[in-house]
């Protein structure tokens, strides 16, 4: 049974989400103490986190950054904020998806199921590496290593690189990437893919692989 950690300070919303998750046979953990969320994450070991932005003391951006120091667990932001900058910030902090309040429970469940399927199906099917030009993509750990440097990837970054490496020497369109990541382009702003690509490129540069991903104008992306 998948464990879902719900970090939402509105008790009514938290309760509604918890009840719906139970109907879907998930194991919800609705947080009531918003101190030391990083320690609670370590104790619960959830398969996915639903994270509000507006929280007591520290906001969701802060906690997402803290979580990313400890885990690659998928994180879906849930927020009433609607500015593009908030969505970009959520992705930059390490979030995997963003859903705006008020939201449909059916859409929320579709996003949860899609991310869980993407995340844990890969791990069940393959528990080794993909290698290209000396870059090792660790499928079980969702990390990259090159020479003596290693870096963790978020789930979206992992799936982008996984698809590009699997289809190396072939152009992968933005539409194909979005379909693979979110299973329906209707669920995601095109900006979100751009942010994830940019963040992945920065991590590749940090391990010593600048220009590893090539942009093909009006076509997509390519790894040679």
Q: What is the CATH number of the domain that holds 133?
A: 1.10.10.10
Tally of domains in the chain: 2
Residue-wise pLDDT tens digits, 152-193: 998 889 989 999 998 898 999 988 888 877 654 445 567 788
Domain co-membership, 145 together with 97: no
Domain co-membership, 134 together with 105: no
pTM of the model: 0.67
- Per-residue pLDDT at 114 exceeds 50: yes
Residue-wise pLDDT tens digits, 4-33: 999 999 999 999 999 999 999 999 999 999
Domain co-membership, 209 together with 136: yes
pLDDT of residue 88: 85
pLDDT of residue 186: 44
Domain co-membership, 107 together with 146: no
Domain co-membership, 196 together with 116: no
Structural domain ending residue among the three candidates 121, 152, 175: 121
What is the chain's mean pLDDT, rounded?
88
pLDDT of residue 34: 95
Mean pLDDT on 105-110: 91
186 CB neighbour count, 10 Å cutoff: 8
191: domain range?
Answer: 126-222
pLDDT of residue 202: 94
Domain co-membership, 140 together with 96: no
pLDDT of residue 120: 80
Structural domain ending residue among the three candidates 121, 142, 170: 121
Domain co-membership, 133 together with 186: yes
Structural domain ending residue among the three candidates 70, 89, 121: 121
Task: Band the pLDDT of 206: cuts 50, 70, 90.
Answer: very high
pLDDT of residue 185: 43
Mean pLDDT on 71-88: 87
pLDDT of residue 91: 85
State the CATH number of the domain containing residue 113: 3.40.50.2300
Domain co-membership, 104 together with 149: no
Domain co-membership, 20 together with 60: yes
pLDDT of residue 92: 85
Domain co-membership, 109 together with 141: no
Give the β-pairing of 75-79 and 97-100.
parallel
DSSP 215: E
Domain co-membership, 112 together with 15: yes
Domain co-membership, 17 together with 61: yes
């Amino acid at each position: 049974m998948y464990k879902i950690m719900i970090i939402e300070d509105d008790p009514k919303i938290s309760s509604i989400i918890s009840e719906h998750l139970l109907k879907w046979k998930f194991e919800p953990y609705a947080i009531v103490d918003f101190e030391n969320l990083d320690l609670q994450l370590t104790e619960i070991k959830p398969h996915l986190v639903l994270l509000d932005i507006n929280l007591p003391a520290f906001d969701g951006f802060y906690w997402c950054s803290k979580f990313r120091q400890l885990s690659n667990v998928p994180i879906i932001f849930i927020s009433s904020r609607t500015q593009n900058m908030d969505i970009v910030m959520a992705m930059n902090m390490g979030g995997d998806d963003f859903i705006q309040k008020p939201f449909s429970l059916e859409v929320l469940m579709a996003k949860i199921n899609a991310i869980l399927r993407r995340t844990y199906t890969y791990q069940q099917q393959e528990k080794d590496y993909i290698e290209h030009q000396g870059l090792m993509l660790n499928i079980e750990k969702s990390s990259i290593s090159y020479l003596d440097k290693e870096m963790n990837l978020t789930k979206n970054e992992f799936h982008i690189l996984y698809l590009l490496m699997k289809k190396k020497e072939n152009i992968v369109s933005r539409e194909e990437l979005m379909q693979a990541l979110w299973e329906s382009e209707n669920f995601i702003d095109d900006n979100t893919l751009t942010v994830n690509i940019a963040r992945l490129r920065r991590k590749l540069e940090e391990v010593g692989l600048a220009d590893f991903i090539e942009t093909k104008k009006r076509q997509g992306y390519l790894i040679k």
